[in-house]
């Protein structure tokens, strides 16, 4: 039997966390396997970058066909190489057999042609750079070739899923599928429900999440969703603490790693994600949610200096 305090806490959460008339689905509910029949067999992945390659890999690993689309052969080749690198790691650890790796490879097709990628696909996952105009342009092109039943998903980290959905001919069949980096490793799939997203589409997303071995957490569309909003505020405060001379970056990171069991401190994580990427998200959340997300001056200055983190060789640490 549950302790009364626990019951009260749960009731309070249910009573408090409602956005307008759309009840949130809590993680424990999302763990149930959906009873809806699963119709997703072919997934079009738009963008063969860090995220797109990983998304194609996990879909193919689950037996689906993945069609990866990028703008040129060099970008596609980079995506293919990233998948090969990940497979090599899995093979070395004996987490996958050579035969499975081969059949997985056989389920991924690469193309620069949007029509070829999207025509007949059951699900389209967009993973192009985090710019609203670009995402809207991509979906406008997608809907020229997609079947009427196809579900459209965006892997956006912070932009409005509702706005993306409203620009398409099927807002009720649009959803946010926010994967985490590296996709084959990270367990979470943050499923973002736009204002017009239907329950049927949410069910499909839950089934899809189960099939690719992820745990879905359902959130309503609000700037930064749950993960980026909390992750960014922590990063933001850590940078302010460096500015104020509270402690050295390594001391702040170790404090959170050891004291709060974070696998990686907030400044190390900022270096991994890219200071420019985090600055762009902070600017967006500052506009949308207010002062607490105002980017620290130190972050702006470091981005201007080209200190972007791991990718440039220097950020809060030197690589």
Contact criterion met (CB below 8 Å) for 214 and 190: no
Question: Can you tell me which of 84, 100, 119, 130 binds ligand NAD, judged by CB under 6 A?
Answer: 130
Instruction: Name the residue with the smallest CB distance to ligand NAD.
Output: 49
| CB 250, min distance to ligand NAD, A | 22
Listed residue (228, 227, 176) closest to 202, CA to CA: 176
Interface mask toward ligand NAD for 254-273; x: CB under 6 A:
-------------------x
Question: Can you tell me which of 67, 69, 278, 307 binds ligand NAD, judged by CB under 6 A?
Answer: 69
Q: Does 160 bind ligand NAD (CB under 6 A)?
A: no
Query: Quick one: 176 or 241, whose CB is closer to ligand NAD?
Result: 176
| Tokens, residue 264 | 């990686």
Interface mask toward ligand NAD for 292-311; x: CB under 6 A:
--------------------
Count how many Cα atoms sit within 13 Å of the Cα of residue 85 in the half-sphere of its side chain: 10
Q: Does 128 bind ligand NAD (CB under 6 A)?
A: yes
Q: Does 46 bind ligand NAD (CB under 6 A)?
A: yes
The CA distances from residue 149 to 39, 106, 124, 190, 270, in Å, are 10, 26, 11, 23, 39
Query: Quick one: 50 or 312, whose CB is closer to ligand NAD?
Result: 50
d(CA 207, CA 37) in angstroms, rounded, equals 8
Q: Does 70 bind ligand NAD (CB under 6 A)?
A: yes
Question: Can you tell me which of 52, 224, 235, 315 binds ligand NAD, judged by CB under 6 A?
Answer: 52
| CB 303, min distance to ligand NAD, A | 16
Question: Can you tell me which of 49, 222, 233, 254 binds ligand NAD, judged by CB under 6 A?
Answer: 49
Binders of ligand NAD among residues 174 to 203 (CB under 6 A) are 178-181
Contact criterion met (CB below 8 Å) for 154 and 161: yes
| Tokens, residue 96 | 């996958």
Q: Does 48 bind ligand NAD (CB under 6 A)?
A: yes
Query: Quick one: 241 or 275, whose CB is closer to ligand NAD?
Result: 275
Distant-in-sequence contacts of 127-130, Cβ < 8 A, 24+ apart: 127/45, 127/46, 127/47, 127/49, 127/51, 127/52, 127/55, 127/155, 127/179, 128/46, 128/47, 128/49, 129/47, 129/49, 130/156, 130/157, 130/158, 130/159, 130/277, 130/280, 130/281
Binders of ligand NAD among residues 73 to 92 (CB under 6 A) are 75
| CB 69, min distance to ligand NAD, A | 5
Q: Does 157 bind ligand NAD (CB under 6 A)?
A: yes
Listed residue (132, 142, 130, 131) closest to 45, CA to CA: 142
Question: Can you tell me which of 24, 27, 50, 163 binds ligand NAD, judged by CB under 6 A?
Answer: 50
Binding site for ligand NAD (CB under 6 A): 46-52, 69-71, 75, 127-130, 138, 155-157, 178-181, 273
């Amino acid at each position: 039997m549950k302790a009364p305090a626990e019951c009260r806490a749960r009731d309070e959460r249910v009573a408090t966390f409602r956005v307008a008339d759309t009840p949130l689905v809590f993680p424990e509910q999302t763990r149930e396997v959906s009873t809806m029949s699963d119709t997703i067999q072919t997934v079009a992945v738009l963008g063969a970058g860090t995220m797109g390659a990983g998304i194609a890999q996990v879909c193919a690993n689950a037996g689906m066909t993945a069609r990866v689309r990028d703008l040129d052969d060099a970008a596609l080749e980079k995506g293919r190489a990233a998948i090969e690198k990940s497979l090599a790691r899995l093979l070395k650890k004996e987490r996958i057999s050579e035969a499975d790796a081969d059949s997985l490879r056989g389920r991924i097709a690469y193309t620069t042609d949007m029509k070829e990628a999207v025509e007949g696909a059951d699900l389209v996952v967009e993973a192009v750079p985090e710019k609203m105009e670009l995402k809207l342009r991509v979906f406008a092109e997608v809907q020229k070739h997609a079947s009427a039943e196809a579900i459209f998903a965006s892997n956006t980290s912070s932009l409005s899923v509702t706005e993306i959905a409203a620009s398409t001919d099927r807002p009720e069949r649009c959803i946010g599928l926010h994967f985490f980096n590296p996709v084959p490793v990270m367990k979470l799939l943050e499923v973002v429900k736009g204002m017009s997203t239907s329950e049927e589409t949410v069910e499909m997303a839950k089934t899809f999440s189960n099939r690719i071995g992820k745990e879905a957490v359902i959130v309503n569309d609000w700037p930064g969703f749950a993960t980026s909003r909390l992750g960014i505020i922590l990063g933001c405060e850590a940078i302010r603490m460096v500015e104020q001379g509270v402690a050295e970056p390594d001391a702040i990171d170790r404090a959170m790693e050891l004291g709060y069991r974070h696998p990686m401190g907030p400044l190390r994580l900022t270096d991994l994600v890219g200071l420019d990427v985090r600055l762009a998200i902070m600017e967006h959340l500052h506009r949308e949610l207010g002062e607490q997300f105002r980017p620290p001056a130190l972050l702006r200055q470091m981005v201007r200096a080209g200190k972007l983190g791991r990718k440039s060789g220097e950020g809060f640490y030197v690589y």
